[in-house]
Structure formats: structure tokens, C-alpha cells
Structure 1
Amino acid sequence: MIDHVYISVKDVSRSRAFYAAALKPLGWREFFEYDSSAGPASVPDLFGLADRSYGSGGAIGNSIWLRKRKPGETGLYLGLVADSPQEVDAAYAAALAAGGQDAGEPALRAYFGPGYYAANVIDLDGNELEFVNKEFNPKRPA
């Protein structure tokens, strides 16, 4: 299941208005601005939009995060749900074994929220994957 996607845009304010308007009929809403000064230098300022399930406690929701595009950047950033920290560790190890590059070892990332455990890899084409287990997500049926 997809947890979140980062979309790198040229003009965050303009894109923020566009995505908020375009996704509103689908039940999406603006919900959070992440100030990068709260975390490591590798995490940019982010503006979040969420579907109707996000944060409901009844189902795992999805989010889109807009970020300022860096010069030459075109890649995708995709966050994928893991059902446990052990799944995060296993996916990270499997991605490295398949030729991916480390972009952040498995660790608790409390700057994103309590119980946010994740690992990052770069795929063979420069796209970034984040395997993430959020303690606050409801458990998925087996």
C-alpha cells in the first residue's frame, strides 16, 4: 500500500492551490506544513494533502507532500507501508541486495511523529523509496 508521495514542484504556493482545488472533489484536504528546521538537513520543507481516511484511525490513509524542486531534480519519492519495523528492515535489506543504494538506514524518525520507523533507498534510476511503519496507523487485516 502506498503511504505517501513527494511531488517536487517549481512553485510551491501555485502548486499548493492547484492540488488543493483539484483533489478536493475526491475528498482530499490540506492538512499540514512540515518545517524542515524540525528535522535533519536532508528533509525539505513539505506541504501536505491527505485523503479522507488519513488520520481517521479507521483505515490507513494516503498523503501527497509538495516540496520545492532542486535544480536538476526530476525523480519520484514514494513511501510504502510496512506492517512492522521488521518489515521495514527486511525491505531495506532486500532493496540493497537488489542493487539499491542506501539513503537512510532503518531508524525511528521521531521528528515526523511518535512511532515513525522508516528506511530509505535509491532505486536503479535515482527514484527514492521509503519503507515506513507508523505505530499510530491502524493494523491492516491479515
Structure 2
Amino acid sequence: MIDHVYLSVSDPERALTFYLAALKPLGWEAFGKYDSENGPDTVPDLWGLSSQAGRNSIWLRQRTAGETGIYLGLVADDPSLVDAAYAEALRAGGRDDGIPAVRQYFSDGYYAANVVDLDDNRLEFVHKSWNQKPA
């Protein structure tokens, strides 16, 4: 299951207005803004939208010069699966972009690992303690 996607845009506030209007009929709403001053240098300011169910999100970020690809967050049902996906991605030729660890700067119970694939797309394997596995 997809947990979240980062979309790199030229004007995040303008894009937020667009996405709020376009996704409102589907039950999406503003989720909040992440201020990059609260985390590591590798995490930019983010403007969030969330689905009605609250299990999926889209984060808008300022595009940087020469940036390509996508950032895709994928749900892991427990931290051991984050570790396993990270290890397998590296064995398959991916590059480390953040070792498995708690991402306290996002929230308590946010455990993730990041890799860059063979085409410079970014993947995050993430377990959020507040997201329960569907029955």
C-alpha cells in the first residue's frame, strides 16, 4: 500500500490550492505543513494533503534545479519489514538514502528507511505505529 508521495512543484502554495480543489470531491483535505527547521537538512518544507481515511498523504515540496523522479513512501506493517525491504533494496543495487531508524522529527512511532533506486527515484519504507494493519 502507498503511504505517501512527495510531488516536487515550482510553487508549493499555488499547487496546494490546486490540489485541494481537485481532490476535495475525493475526500482529500489539507493535512498541515512540515517546517524543515524541525528536522535534518535532507528534509525540505512540506505542504500536506490527506485522504479522508487518513492513511494516505501527498506532500508538496519546492522543486530544486535539475530535480527529477518521484519520492514514494510505502507501508510496512512492522519495523522488521522496513529493515528487510531496505536490505533487499540495497542488495538489488539501490543506494542508501537513510538507514532504518525512528524519525522522531516527524513523530513518535515513525520508523523508516530510505533508498534511491537505479534511476534516482527515492523510496521510503515506513511503519507508523498509529496505522494498524487492515483486518
TM-score class, shorter-chain normalisation, is: over 0.9
In structure 1, C-alpha distance between the alignment counterparts of 2:44 and 2:22, rounded to whole Å: 24
Structural RMSD (CA): 0.6
Residue 58 of structure 2: aligned partner = 64
Aligned residue pair count: 135
Q: Deviations over 1:45-103 (max 9, x none)?
A: 0000000010xxxxxx1000000001000210000000110000000000000000000
Residue 139 of structure 1: CA displacement?
A: 2.5
Moved over 2 A (4+): none
Which of 71, 74, 80 in structure 1 is aligned with 2:74? Answer: 80
- How far apart are the structure 1 equivalents of 2:95 and 2:18? 33
- Name the residue aligned to 1:49: 49
CA distance in 2, matches of 1:25, 1:94: 38
Aligned equivalent of 1:89: 83
Q: Percent identity?
A: 64
Unaligned stretches of 5+ residues in structure 1: 55-60
Letter in 1 for 2:39: G
Which residues of structure 2 form unaligned runs of 5+? none
Equivalences for residues 1-142 of structure 1 within 5 A: 1-54=1-54, 61-141=55-135
In structure 1, C-alpha distance between the alignment counterparts of 2:81 and 2:134, rounded to whole Å: 14
Question: Which amino acid in 2 is paired with 1:133?
Answer: H
* TM-score, normalisation: structure 2: 0.98
Give, in angstroms, the shift of residue 36 of structure 1.
Answer: 0.4
Distance between the aligned counterparts of 1:82 and 1:31, measured in 2? Answer: 21
Aligned with 2:81: secondary structure?
helix
